[in-house]
Structure 1
Amino acid sequence: MDEDEPRRLTLGELIRRQRELAELPMRQLAAMVGISNPYLSQIERNLREPSDRVLHAIADHLHLSADALVAESSRSHGEGLSAVTKAIREDPDLTTSQRNAVEEMYEAFREVTIARRKRPSRSDDPNGDLGD
């Protein structure tokens, strides 16, 4: 990573930062979400992954989208992402919902193409059918 490039935050760090920006004590957010204070602390320190229910509840109480939190932390790590997906996620000219829609379409196209590659072509058909 380039020294001039800011370090990206993990999901836990993003949650902690948003909680602090909202000026919510950890105990208060944990109570609002319906989880224990130690569990929230573990989430913020990246020792535990929140369930979908907990993640959505945290996001709701911080007035954020759970998808935005996950996307931002995924973008931070960029693990296993194609160059196209990275470009979509980093495009400043798209809104979050547009990014999500474009990424979803791109992934659907990729899945179809990958599935087609795995199927034998009709020219490989032992019956000799060449029609498409």
Structure 2
Amino acid sequence: MTEPSGAHRPMEKVADIASDIGEYIRQQRSSAKISLRQLSKLAGVSNPYLSQIERGVRKPSAEILQQIAKGLRISAEALYVQAGILDLPTGGPVGDAIRADTELTERQKQVLLDVYESFRRENAAAGETPASAPKTTRDTTEESV
């Protein structure tokens, strides 16, 4: 008897998430120029376990992700999103562009997003929209000739 198509999809999705988070951690570790052994020590996670996470064999818990994020000096939220624990924050095209920029570190991305969101909150609290915000113009008065 054959199983209906898609019967194993939930397990495949978990395996994909584990593989994705492992690859993401490996990329972050590589860009930070930290060895697997160094990250293992910084995060307080055994070297073999960290290796299994990076290879997609194991899916780490939120607590382990937090320890790894601390060791990599990136936001735990970034790892939670990659692991499927948190949904990708909304923020429109600006937030998407910041998150997609490969030239920025995770910390730099988070700082930019925080500043951007603070401006948006400030404008919302003041009831301003881009159209109603005061415009800054240069003094364009011409001298009489």
Q: Normalising by structure 1, what TM-score? A: 0.50
Once superposed, what is the RMSD of the aligned Cα atoms? 2.7
Partner of 1:41: 51
**Alpha-carbon distance between aligned partners in 2 of 1:86 and 1:14, rounded to the nearest angstrom:** 15
Partner of 1:92: 93
Matching of residues 1-132 of structure 1 within 5 Å: 10-72=20-82, 74=84, 88=90, 91-94=92-95, 95=113
Give SS of 1:47's match: coil
Listed one character per residue, the Cα deviations across residues 35-93 of structure 1 (whole Å, up to 9, x for unaligned) are 2111001101111111222110110121111111232454xxxxxxxxxx77936x232
Superposed structure 1 runs of 4+ greater than 4 Å apart: none
How many aligned positions are there?
79
**Alpha-carbon distance between aligned partners in 2 of 1:26 and 1:92, rounded to the nearest angstrom:** 34
User: In the alignment, is the contact (CA less than 8 A) between 1:14 and 1:73 conserved in 2?
Assistant: no
Identity %: 42
**Alpha-carbon distance between aligned partners in 2 of 1:32 and 1:86, rounded to the nearest angstrom:** 27
Gaps of 5+ in 1: 1-8, 75-84, 99-132
Q: Normalising by structure 2, what TM-score? A: 0.46
* Higher Rg: 2
**Alpha-carbon distance between aligned partners in 1 of 2:69 and 2:21, rounded to the nearest angstrom:** 11
**Alpha-carbon distance between aligned partners in 1 of 2:44 and 2:89, rounded to the nearest angstrom:** 37
Gaps of 5+ in 2: 1-18, 96-112, 118-145
